[in-house]
Structure formats: structure tokens, C-alpha cells
Amino acid sequence: TMLIDGQPVDTTSPITLGPGPHHIDVSAPGYKSVNDRITITKVQRDITRSYNLQPLPILMRHQLTPLGGSLFVNGKRQDISKNTIEIPYQKTLDIEYSKPGFVTKTQSQTVTSGEVVTLSLVLEPEFADITVTANIAADIYLNGQVLGATPLQISVPTVPATLEVRADGYQSETKSITPKSKQPQIYNF
């Protein structure tokens, strides 16, 4: 719809206006409206305008668990400090949420311009298999928590951690590790 000075006009043919300033409003469902001012004078009598309306952005309300991950929509990282994000309109939203130590989630969603969508994602902890061996029987600790004795094969979270082995009468040994899923790792002490 087009309004000139608040009155609807027929846009299929040229419009004749009297002299002076005129206010133009152009709108369409699902698009950002455009407001314009023109002034018709004796010198400036023929005015041509072409309006290109932009689709309304998508408003995304999100509930992401755990907090502090990285949210990408259509390949662009989003600022998730606000609960509602404004995303430029595209017919399909490709969504990815990730955080170290958790399994990344991806999904696609078809949307219409101006739509308000709610995104609720819960990431599952990610684990990896590690094997710990030593030249003697020793107690194994992960970030200070006892896991068991050597030799040991165990599933642990895929986050950076400190692996330590202790045995009476022997000097303790530590290693900084970052287990990777689908990549079993062996730590020899």
C-alpha cells in the first residue's frame, strides 16, 4: 500500500500532486515500510521514485543450555548476551550451537519474514575413551578426582584436564590432556 499525505493512492498509474511538501508511506506485509518526503515546486515538477522494500528481520528468542557457547545462524556468529536476536531474513535458518566438552547441535528451520521463532537447544556432554598405563600399579586422578588404578580404560569429558598418577614411594607424574571424541588416546606414565 502507498499513502501520500495519509491518503491511499493507486500506484498503477502516474500520480498528480499539488505544489508543496508531501509525505509518502510505502508498506507491504512482511516488509519494512519506507517513509519519504518530497517537495514539488515550479522548478522541480516531475519526481520519480522507486522503492525497494526489505523483508522484515527474524526475531529469535533463545534458550541455550549450557550457557556460554557459540551460536551461529547462517554462518554468522550471534551475540547471545540478549535473549532475543534480530537476524536478517533468509528463507532457511541454518543453526549451529557448540561449546567445548559438548556435542555440537545443528538444525535448519524454514521461516517467513518478520516471524518470531523460539530456539531451545540443550547440548549433551561429549566423552572420549582414554587408556592410562604405568610401569607400576598406580592411582589415576583427573583434575584431582580419583578414577581408579593403572591400567585403566575409561570414558572422560572432552575438555582440557590434568591427568596425574600417584604411587607410594614414587614421584607423582602429571600430563595436561584434551581428550578428543572418536580418537581414543593412550597415556603412558
Identity of the amino acid at 103: V
Bridge partners for 40 per DSSP = 20
Identity of the amino acid at 147: L
Rg over CA atoms, the chain: 31
Using the CB atoms, write b or e for 105-119: b if 16+ within 10 Å: eeeeeebebebebeb
pLDDT one-digit tens code per residue, 34-79: 999 999 988 887 888 888 999 999 999 999 999 999 999 999 999 9
Answer whether residue 133 shows pLDDT above 90.
yes
- What is the distance in angstroms between the CA of the first residue and the CA of the last residue of the chain? 76
29 pLDDT band (50/70/90 cuts)? confident
Q: What is the mean pLDDT of the chain?
A: 93
Separation CA 6–CA 48 (nearest Å): 19
Separation CA 166–CA 57 (nearest Å): 58
pTM above 0.75, yes or no: no
Angle 32-60-98 (CA atoms, 0-180°, nearest 5)?
A: 140
Q: Which residue has the cell 522548478?
A: 43
Residue 131: which region, alpha, beta or left (left: phi > 0; alpha: psi -120 to 50)?
beta
Bridge partners for 63 per DSSP = 120
Closest CA relative to residue 128, chosen from 168, 95, 170, 158 = 158
Q: Which residue has the cell 593403572?
A: 150
The three cell numbers of residue 129 are 575413551
Closest CA relative to residue 187, chosen from 172, 143, 176, 157 = 176
pLDDT one-digit tens code per residue, 91-120: 999 999 999 889 999 999 999 999 999 999
